[in-house]
Copies of this chain bind each other. A is one copy, B any other.
Amino acid sequence: MTNPTAAMLVIGDEILSGRTRDSNMHFLAGALTKHGIALKEVRVVSDDRDMIIDAVNALRASYDTVVTSGGIGPTHDDITAESIAAAFDVPITIRDDARAILAAHYAATGAELNDARLRMARIPDGATLIDNPISKAPGFTLENVHVMAGVPNIFQAMVASVLPTLTGGAPLLSQTLRIDRGEGEIAEQLSALADEFPDLSVGSYPFQRDGAYGVNIVIRGSDAAMIDHAMSKLAALFPEATK
């Protein structure tokens, strides 16, 4: 049985202009892998309605789960919620439960629930809310698409709410062996090992640091005993290597 699949859609000009370094992709990749869901594709697009619609429709048709990050705040460039509604061809309106969450929050902090902030209560028809324990404005889930904030600590809190609701598979396990040789020197033996264990993935990741070079070999799969077995064979081939 293969694991469920996921894709991520990162929405934001600031990533594509190089102003901001995205960290949500790396966080989500690790969280999904632990949960036994295979992240198969990530797309990053700008704050552009048509691009968001096209990307979310392509991804939600191809993968079990889609997570988006970014563009759900109160300002004019936050167009994710309305673009997702358009992608699903459903209306989007200010919803009472979302408005109540915001009203309580701003009443408690003494700030005004103005029109801009009310934008954050606009939720596509048929969606369920995703809790935001940090700044309250909720995300939402529409079918297999989970729409989350881009601010990293809020994104992480929303992932923590949603992840337990997703069906996971066998967690993807991995072991790494570092070999201080060139990739080209060990490629033939690695290829033979990969052929011998077709149910495992054998990845080769070269590095160069401070003039030294080498390669990290990562063996991945969901069967711990099989990974142990493959790793023993690999270690026997390169006795000088370090785990």
Quick one: which of B51, B74, B186, B191 contacts A183, CB cutoff 8 A? B74
B51 near A33 (CB under 8 angstroms)? no
Chain B residues whose CB sits within 8 angstroms of the CB of A119 once the complex forms: 187
Bound form: Cα–Cα A51–B5 in Å = 14
Interface of A is mostly: mixed
- Whether A208 touches B153, Cβ cut-off 8 Å, given contacts A43-B42, A203-B14, A203-B77, is yes
Bound form: Cα–Cα A167–B25 in Å = 31
Tell me if A76 counts as interface (CB < 8 A to partner B): yes
User: How many protomers of this protein does the assembly include?
Assistant: 2
B41 near A17 (CB under 8 angstroms)? no
Bound form: Cα–Cα A194–B30 in Å = 37
Bound form: Cα–Cα A3–B47 in Å = 17
Tell me if A18 counts as interface (CB < 8 A to partner B): yes
Chain B residues whose CB sits within 8 angstroms of the CB of A20 once the complex forms: 205
A204 near B73 (CB under 8 angstroms)? yes
A183 near B75 (CB under 8 angstroms)? yes
Q: In the complex, which residue of chain B has the Cβ closest to the Cβ of A26? A: B21
A218 near B16 (CB under 8 angstroms)? no
B203 near A13 (CB under 8 angstroms)? yes
Scoring A22, A28, A45, A183 by chain B CB atoms within 10 A of each residue's CB, the highest score goes to A183
What 0/1 pattern do residues 61 to 76 of A give for CB contact below 8 A with B?
0000000000001111
B29 near A74 (CB under 8 angstroms)? no
CB distance from A124 to the nearest CB of B (A): 20
- Whether A218 touches B14, Cβ cut-off 8 Å, given contacts A77-B202, A207-B151, is yes
A205 near B14 (CB under 8 angstroms)? yes
Tell me if A188 counts as interface (CB < 8 A to partner B): yes
Tell me if A226 counts as interface (CB < 8 A to partner B): no
Kindly list 5 other residue pairs between chains A and B, CB separation below 8 angstroms, not including A14-B218, A40-B46, A135-B213.
A18-B33, A43-B44, A111-B185, A114-B187, A116-B185
- A-B pairs with the 7 shortest C-beta distances? A116-B187, A18-B30, A18-B29, A117-B184, A76-B191, A42-B44, A75-B204
